[in-house]
């Protein structure tokens, strides 16, 4: 999340009205709107590679893969985020204007120096408020490292990490496998 916060307290409806008219993307947490910083070339390539891989593997499944243009909302409707990649399986459930997804299954964030701590901690806790949310990937921009969280039936989360070009990550909730060499194609060469 960017450090550039809008100072006036906004109701969620006010945020959505402003956001839908804005050329910039902003996330929203408890009344404060945060303008998102632009991504790096590596950030863009990694997100695009993951989108391509997941779309290819899921093309005949009931799952849909969305890029970072789709907002996700936590149930309290007091937090809105733009994950780098979002997967929903079955019928997507949207808020009023079809631009806010309510039932993501898998969320993926490409880490940057300014957001890595937030994505690993507070944002992950916020995402856990979403009942359908069951799998979380955090992708490093600087090395072949993917952090993977999978929700267990008792509500706890199991953490694993894949390191190195020859490693892969098994996405159990959507029955896909991502090879790190494919995620980082043309990025870390």
DSSP per-residue codes, 61-82: SSEEEE-TTSEEE-TTSSEEE-
Q: Could you read off the pLDDT tens digit of each residue along the chain, which spans 189 residues?
A: 444 555 689 999 999 999 999 989 999 999 999 998 777 899 999 999 999 999 999 999 999 999 999 999 998 889 999 999 999 999 999 987 778 999 999 999 999 988 899 999 999 999 999 999 999 999 999 999 999 999 999 999 999 999 999 999 999 999 999 999 999 999 965
Please say whether the beta carbons of 137 and 148 come within 8 A: yes
- Compute the distance between CA of residue 121 and CA of residue 117 in angstroms, rounded to an integer: 6
> What's domain 39-183's architecture?
Alpha-Beta Complex (3.90)
pTM: 0.93
CA 42 from centroid of its chain's CA atoms: 16
Q: What share of the chain is helix, strand, coil (3-state, %, to 5)?
A: 25, 30, 45
């Amino acid at each position: 999340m960017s450090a550039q916060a809008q100072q006036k307290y906004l109701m969620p409806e006010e945020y959505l009205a402003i956001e839908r008219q804005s050329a910039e993307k902003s996330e929203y947490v408890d009344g404060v709107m945060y303008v998102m910083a632009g991504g790096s070339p590596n950030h863009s390539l990694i997100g695009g590679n993951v989108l391509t891989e997941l779309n290819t593997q899921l093309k005949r499944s009931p799952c849909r893969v969305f890029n970072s243009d789709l907002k996700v909302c936590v149930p309290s409707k007091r937090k809105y985020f733009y994950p780098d990649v979002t997967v929903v399986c079955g019928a997507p459930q949207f808020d009023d204007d079809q631009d806010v997804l309510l039932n993501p299954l898998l969320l993926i964030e490409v880490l940057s120096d300014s957001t890595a701590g937030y994505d690993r901690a507070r944002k992950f806790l916020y995402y856990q408020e979403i009942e359908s949310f069951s799998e979380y990937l955090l992708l490093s921009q600087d090395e072949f490292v993917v952090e993977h969280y999978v929700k267990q039936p008792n509500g706890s989360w199991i953490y694993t990490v894949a390191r190195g070009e020859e490693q892969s990550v098994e996405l159990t909730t959507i029955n896909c496998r991502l090879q790190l060499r494919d995620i980082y194609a043309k990025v870390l060469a």
